Amino acid sequence: MKTKTKSPKLWSKNFTILTLGSFVSMLGNSVSGYIISLMIFDMTGSVFLFSVFTVSFYLPKMLFSMFAGAYMDRFSRKRVIYTLDFTSAFLYGIIFLILFMQWNFYWLFLILVLIVGSINGIYEVAFNSLFPNTISRDVYSRAYAVSSMIQPLALTMIPVASLIYYNFGSAAPLFIFNVVAFLTAAIFETHIDCPEGHISAEEKKVTFSSYKEDIKEGFRYTSKDKGLFAITIYFCVMNFASGAYGTLALPFFRSATDHFAGGERQFPLLFSLLKHLGAFGDWLQGIFEYLCNDTATLYTFVMAFGVIGRLLGGTIQYKLKYSHKMRFTISVICCVLIGILDMTMLYLPARFIMLCCLLTGLLSIAVYNIRLSTTQAYVSDEKRARFISFFEMLFAAGNILGQVLSGILGEFIHGRFIISAFNVINLIALFAVIVANAKSVKKIYNIEIKEDSKVKPKA
């Protein structure tokens, strides 16, 4: 007689609160970050100043994530999370008042973004350190598939936020939304009660010297493990290329009116089909003509395809079952394809850029899920926050370097050429760092988690 084994529960109270709280937080930050970026670019019209603004977010994020790890391995990660969300609610309330009073000073937004970046750097370390404590190792892959969908779901609000900003002529209503969202998240997060076994009474007594030693330990721990070090270095380079795309894509769309001119030229097959739909078809043709003329809105529309790709990727990762021995190979193939797509997409018509964004979104989720689920399972709870700090610091450093360098070069060189060159560097690093250290990286990526060995019984 076959006995039914109770499958591990994924959507426990703690996992649900932390996941939804993170979604709300990321939703608020995504909306505010994008809208402030648009405001700054509209205020200055400079690619370089636009990149300076973006760096102002990532630089404190990098520094604070570096120092946060040692703290998170000694104190309550849950308390840090809800405290930061309460703080963010207060901060976005201040931004609302500034916009309401129409104090559009560039330096004032820079200061606020420095604070937001600092909060984000600490929050990410706290969230990623606490997240594994809310789930069983039996459901790691599914849990991180859900986690990988948080950001794309949050990004679905960006097109809506863009429309509100351009139609209302102010971003103030969006920041009222942020205040409510962060307050709600923080209140629910106070009810998380998962165990935090890394905390002990003795460890709470921290001196400056012991804190400094903890930070050094995070560097030593990661650098001594060839696999972890290779993964960290490569994703730093990958984010370097991503920084160039994030800095130069919007200015490219804003200036490439000739490249995207003519709705029928951009979407020939679609227009030929719409011609047979009468008035409704004419209306849709008008929308696509408008998109091709208003390239800032087209950029937002293209971004939406990346979001859809990430959502599809997260759904596939949640449902898909494949051998853990294939993770390394799948990750390398996905990284190669992402690099090629990012390198070439801005030379193509709008319809193909949308397809490329869809594919890169789908593939990036596979890379994200494999990296995060395996490294979190591989690193012990006592060292997890310190490893995450080191990783996040280099990850952000790569993005900052990519943004600054591309912002400077973007004043003299066409953005498409810079993005292509940076992605060539990305592909070289993939083979020089990940593939060259395949044995050490496979030890992490191909680690067997409990759910890998579970086989569904035959009916």
The whole-number pLDDT of residue 289 equals 83
pLDDT over 50 (residue 14): yes
Q: Which two tokens stand for residue 35?
A: 């809208």
> SS3 sequence, 53-81?
HHHHHHHHHHHHHHHHHHHHCCCCHHHHH
Look at 269 and 66; give whichever has higher pLDDT: 269
Q: Which residue has the tokens 């869809």?
A: 358
Q: Which two tokens stand for residue 78?
A: 């849950």
Give whichever of 98-107, 358-367, 394-403 has the largest mean pLDDT.
358-367
Confidence of residue 417 (pLDDT cuts 50, 70, 90): very high
Please give the single-letter amino acid code of residue 382. Answer: E
pLDDT (tens digit per residue) in 366-387: 898 889 888 888 887 777 777 8
Say how far apart CA 392 and CA 238 lie, in whole Å: 13
Confidence of residue 457 (pLDDT cuts 50, 70, 90): very low
Q: Are 119 and 88 in contact (CB under 8 A)?
A: yes
Helix (H) or strand (E) holding 274: helix 268-274
396: helix, coil or strand? helix
What mean pLDDT, rounded, does the chain reach?
A: 80
The whole-number pLDDT of residue 202 equals 44
Residue 241, exposed/middle/buried by CB under 10 A (0-12, 13-18, 19+)?
Answer: buried
Q: Which residue has the tokens 């990036």?
A: 364
The whole-number pLDDT of residue 450 equals 58
pLDDT over 70 (residue 203): no
Say how far apart CA 33 and CA 36 lie, in whole Å: 5
The whole-number pLDDT of residue 410 equals 84
pLDDT (tens digit per residue) in 263-300: 788 888 888 888 878 888 888 888 888 777 878 778 87
Question: CB count, 10 Å around CB of 35?
Answer: 20
The whole-number pLDDT of residue 194 equals 79
The whole-number pLDDT of residue 141 equals 67
Say how far apart CA 231 and CA 446 lie, in whole Å: 13
